[in-house]
Structure 1
Amino acid sequence: MPESKPRRRPAKGPSETPSSKAQKPNAVWFLPLMVTLMLVGLFWIIVYYISNGAYPLPGVNNWNIGIGFAIALAGFMMTTRWRS
């Protein structure tokens, strides 16, 4: 009786995991948006301090600092997903 062929086992090395396949670079708009968010957040906080709380949103007082940090943080979080 003929002997059957053994099955090939898939390699379990780190180089052949599905998540490590060559990833496509980001869209063209990703990098400009990332940098813009970081700069807008910084600008928001600077405007708040220079205007003594009168701008950018006068009714929220010290929450302007939180808003500026949240905008900048969104930009910094995008850096974790950036691929060239």
Structure 2
Amino acid sequence: MPESKQRNKGGYEAPRAKTAVQKPNGRFFAPIMVGFLILGLAWIVAYYLTTGDYPVPNINDWNLVIGIGIALCGFGMLTRWR
């Protein structure tokens, strides 16, 4: 019967976890993020200051939904900022 190979009798070393190095965001990321936040705020302010006539007439309260949606894009980008 063939004999098995001899093992190295060194001490046990636990396997090391692989750490994923995350790259920083590009130079464009922060200005776009801030732009979304400001644009969403400006959209909502314009809606309230014009008593619902602008930025898009005849869609009434949907202007709020659009403004909040734009601002949420900016907040979503904030969670990914490194």
Q: TM-score range by the shorter chain?
A: 0.7 to 0.9
Output the CA distance in 2 between the equivalents of 1:35 and 1:21: 27
**Cα RMSD (Å):** 2.1
Output the CA distance in 1 between the equivalents of 2:71 and 2:8: 59
Alignment-derived partner of residue 8 in structure 2: 5
Decide which structure has greater helix share. Answer: 1
Question: How far apart are 1:4 and its partner, in Å?
Answer: 2.1
1:64 equivalent in alignment to 2:63: yes
Amino acid at match of 1:31: A
Matches within 5 A, 1:48-63: 48-63=47-62
TM-score under structure 2 length normalisation: 0.81
Instruction: Kindly tell me the number of residue pairs found equivalent between the two proteins.
Output: 77
Output the CA distance in 2 between the equivalents of 1:21 and 1:62: 44
Amino acid at match of 1:51: T
- The runs of 5 or more residues in structure 2 that have no matched partner are none
Question: How far apart are 1:5 and its partner, in Å?
Answer: 2.8
Output the CA distance in 2 between the equivalents of 1:69 and 1:76: 10
Output the CA distance in 2 between the equivalents of 1:35 and 1:5: 58
Determine what percentage of the aligned residue pairs are the same residue.
44
- The runs of 5 or more residues in structure 1 that have no matched partner are none
TM-score under structure 1 length normalisation: 0.80
